[in-house]
Amino acid sequence: MGSDMSLFQRLGAAAAAFRSPLIASAQVSPTSGTAPAEPWLVRLFGGGKTRAGQYVSPDSALRVSAVYAATRILAESMASLPISVFQFKDGRRTRVQQHNLVGLLHDSPNPNNTAFEFFEMGQAHLCLRGNAYAFIEGNGKGEIEGLYPQHPDKVMVRYDRDRNLFVYDIDGEHNIPARQVLHVRGFSLDGLVGLAPIALARETIGNALAAEQLSGEAFAEGFVPPVVLEVAEKAGKDQRDTYRKQWVELTSDRRRGPPVISGGTKLHTLRVSMADLQFIETRRFSISEIARLFRVPPHMLADLERATFSNIEQQSLEFVKYTLSPWIKRWEQRLNLTLLSGRERELGIYIKFNVDALLRGDIKSRFEAYKMGVEARILNANECRDMEDRDAYDGGDQFWAPLNMAPVDVPRQVKGGNAA
């Protein structure tokens, strides 16, 4: 009985959220699984049938190769970034080693997931459903011992007006305080939940799914279009059935050669050709639309129609700057706010991703940059070796400068032995 009540309560809460326009746009569609969800459940969670006749949900959208590729690119790129805990004190930044979050964020947030899997899953949820959740497990000392990812479809967020705080219902557990949930929001209009990109771009993705379906049907039918047979004489029902059966037999095995009809029978096709439908152009346009949705350069989705060597390099830099940087900022600020105590933040402790891992150039460009950094006393030898994943050596922490350089206030000798 308890489980039944839990289900009704969750459906009631979902229905209440569905009536709110802002929350309804952010609620995501059906629960993941191998079996497709019922259409009413898809509509309840913000999905629905498109004008192309396709039911679009975050799970069905992954059947579009461009959506799958864009989601993987963003998820794997975020998960590939090194993450560290730092402390800024007395004008210097030092890497923190003795902190319980170091192992959780760098190696494994829980016994079941690696750190890569955790961030990959969270970013995929953000791309498809607009929100990423993880339950925070603590101990009696107030330290965090584990982060357990939660599927967004099983989470309901509510605002507690009495306490002015967000509370969460997760898989039948109610009124979980916000301090126990890591909640990274995507683009949001109400500050409660992020908007689901798939729900907002339902028509675009529905068109792509419809194109996939049309392509499959054409291959299954051997590209034989629907036809109408026109006969000269007036035919009764039995005769029409005979003509229909003969036509099916003629076209079922094309290896016997082209079908032949006689007796004044005329053939009329009912489907326009793929060329008339601009089928290839439609699929290419769908890739561009999906690339725009996820803000991923088209060449990363294998659309190289307008790509050149020079603009691919520039687009890759723009991908880091304009696509990944906002996501990195969302993750960093939420991790710092939720996982670190106010006292730790006052002490200058913070969590940061290292985006340089995605900006590494070729070895010649890197070593030229290191040389300039060392000569300008921005880097020392050991810092350069660390960026190349090499061991430090004694004396490598010392900064060096060219002998022909000196501060501007130091007198310099000029020709003739006089000071300048």
147 lies in the same domain as 264: no
Q: φ and ψ at 248, to 5 degrees? A: -65, -40
110 lies in the same domain as 192: yes
Q: What is the mean pLDDT of residues 358-379?
A: 82
- At residue 323's C-alpha, the angle toward residues 17 and 61, to 5°, is 50
313 lies in the same domain as 377: no
**Coil, strand or helix: which one is 124?**
helix
Which residues does residue 134 pair with via DSSP β-bridges, in sequence order? 149, 182
At 20, the pLDDT band (50, 70, 90 cuts) reads very low
258 lies in the same domain as 338: no
296 lies in the same domain as 414: no
pTM: 0.71
pLDDT at 420: 53
- Say if residue 96's pLDDT is above 90: yes
**Winning range, highest mean pLDDT, from 63-72, 91-100, 336-345:** 336-345
Full residue range of the structural domain in which residue 238 is found? 226-270
Burial label, 203 (beta-carbon count in 10 A; 0-12, 13-18, 19+): middle
Q: What is the mean pLDDT of residues 110-129?
A: 96
99 lies in the same domain as 237: no
Q: How many CA atoms lie within 13 A of 214 on its CB side?
A: 21
- Say if residue 128's pLDDT is above 60: yes
Residues 198-220 have pLDDT tens digits of 888 888 787 777 766 666 666 56
- At residue 206's C-alpha, the angle toward residues 203 and 212, to 5°, is 150
**Which residue do the tokens 């090194």 mark?**
82
295 lies in the same domain as 306: yes
- Say if residue 224's pLDDT is above 80: no
Of residues 19 and 409, more confidently modeled: 409
The residue from 270, 302, 330 where one domain ends is 270
To the nearest whole number, what is the mean pLDDT of the chain?
78
Residues 135-161 have pLDDT tens digits of 999 988 888 999 999 999 999 999 988
- Say if residue 277's pLDDT is above 70: no
265 lies in the same domain as 309: no
6 lies in the same domain as 136: yes
Helices (H), 253-308: 279-294
**For residues 380 and 331, what is the distance between their CA atoms, to the nearest angstrom?**
30
Q: Answer for the pair 326, 100: CB distance below 8 angstroms, yes or no.
A: no
95 lies in the same domain as 143: yes
168 lies in the same domain as 131: yes
**For residues 168 and 219, what is the distance between their CA atoms, to the nearest angstrom?**
48
**Count of structural domains within the chain:** 3
CA dihedral sign of residues 83, 87, 93, 97: negative
The residue from 344, 359, 374 where one domain ends is 359
Residues 232-257 have pLDDT tens digits of 677 777 777 877 787 777 666 665 66
The residue from 237, 254, 270 where one domain ends is 270
Q: Which of 183, 177, 94, 171 is nearest to 134 (CA)?
A: 183
134 lies in the same domain as 253: no
Residues 297-324 have pLDDT tens digits of 988 887 777 666 667 778 888 899 899 9
pLDDT at 217: 62
